[in-house]
Amino acid sequence: MSGENDLRPGELALELPAAYDAGVYFIGRIRTPFKSRNDCPKSPAQSDAIGRVELDPPYAAGLADLALYSHVFLLYWMDRARRDLIQQVPAYLDHPRGTFALRSPVRPNPIALAAVELIGIEATTLSVRKIDCIDGTPLIDIKPYFASIDSFPHARRP
């Protein structure tokens, strides 16, 4: 095997369980200018891209009142990522870091989380600012952002 699925020195794979514990529905798709993982910005902080969140029509009623919020969380499913790496060596580090200390798409449950500015809603399409995923990524949830419980401006990181 070769290509992006190779392990780097220091990376660690594990054997995943034989069965899933629960199931998710894809409820829409996220449209972005990025056609492959290499096209994607390294982080939403480096992206001013406008994206469109296309919710599947049966879920339309779930958007009622969402436009009252300035920011939302998107949860999406990184369906091209392997799930079995438990330590990884990102390009910017010289040692392995635990998967749960990284925002890498590679994780046991490949769910990504992005807090984005909500620009507008038309029918079942949301326009959002600062989104960095691959075009066509499956959407699994939208949540309102509450500064009172979600914002920690002084949170420390290494």
Q: Which of residues 115-154 bind a copy of itself (CB under 8 A)?
A: 115, 117, 130, 138, 140-154
Task: Give the torsion sign (CA, 35, 82, 75, 18).
Answer: positive
Query: Binding residue for a copy of itself (CB under 8 A) from 4, 70, 80, 123?
Result: 70
CB of 127 to a copy of itself, least distance (A): 15
Closer CB to a copy of itself, residue 120 or residue 153? 153
CB of 62 to a copy of itself, least distance (A): 4
- Is the backbone of residue 65 left (phi > 0), alpha (psi -120 to 50) or beta? left
Q: Residue 58, interface with a copy of itself (CB under 8 A)? A: yes
Closer CB to a copy of itself, residue 11 or residue 135? 11
CA distances from 95 to 1, 32, 42, 61, 90 (A): 24, 32, 19, 47, 8
Q: Residue 80, interface with a copy of itself (CB under 8 A)? A: no
Query: Binding residue for a copy of itself (CB under 8 A) from 7, 49, 52, 59?
Result: 59
CB of 33 to a copy of itself, least distance (A): 19
Start-to-end C-alpha separation, the chain: 34
Measured between alpha carbons, how far is 35 from 26 in angstroms, rounded to an integer?
19
Measured between alpha carbons, how far is 81 from 76 in angstroms, rounded to an integer?
12
Query: Binding residue for a copy of itself (CB under 8 A) from 45, 91, 94, 120?
Result: 45
Find the binding residues for a copy of itself in span 6-35 (CB under 8 A): 12, 14-17, 20-27
Classify residue 134 by its DSSP letter.
P
Closer CB to a copy of itself, residue 1 or residue 45? 45
Measured between alpha carbons, how far is 101 from 115 in angstroms, rounded to an integer?
18
